[in-house]
Amino acid sequence: MVADEEKVFKPTEEKRKEREAEDGKQVEEEKTAEEKGKRVKPEHHDDKKEEKKKEIVLQRLYVIDLSKAFRKPLPRHQRSAVRLLKEFVSKHMKSEKIHIAPELAAEAAKARRLRISATKDKEGLVEAKLQ
């Protein structure tokens, strides 16, 4: 029976503690991360996620022509495309607070036409992203 018990898988830390206990050495108690001086990640609160759920007032789909951006020199394509995109969304959604998704900004440098989804929340913040 003893041989069967030894075959049971035990993590190396438990094996080390058993050996130290058999030898008569004092077994060290495990320290928590705070006691070791390591940084502890803060607990995530579900309240914040609930607060981030925004009430959508207006949602629209647009196809935006960015060909004017391609009249600029090559290094300025993306900058002018994002500027055109912001102007278009600002004009049609009637808001100055605009957040453009990073994927949309990256795609704006490549494409002459973009299909986007724009959503406006209760506070007036407009979020534009690729459709």
For 21-39, the pLDDT digits (tens) are 777 766 556 566 556 666 6
Domain segments of the chain as ranges: 55-130
89 Cβ neighbours under 8 A, 6+ residues apart:
62, 98, 100, 116, 118, 126, 128
Averaged pLDDT, 108-127: 94
pLDDT in tens, 47-77: 555 556 778 999 999 999 999 999 999 999 9
pLDDT of 93 reads 95
Contact between 126 and 119 under an 8 Å Cβ cutoff? The reply is: yes
Give the pTM.
Answer: 0.59
CATH topology of domain 55-130: Ribosomal Protein L31e; Chain: W; (3.10.440)
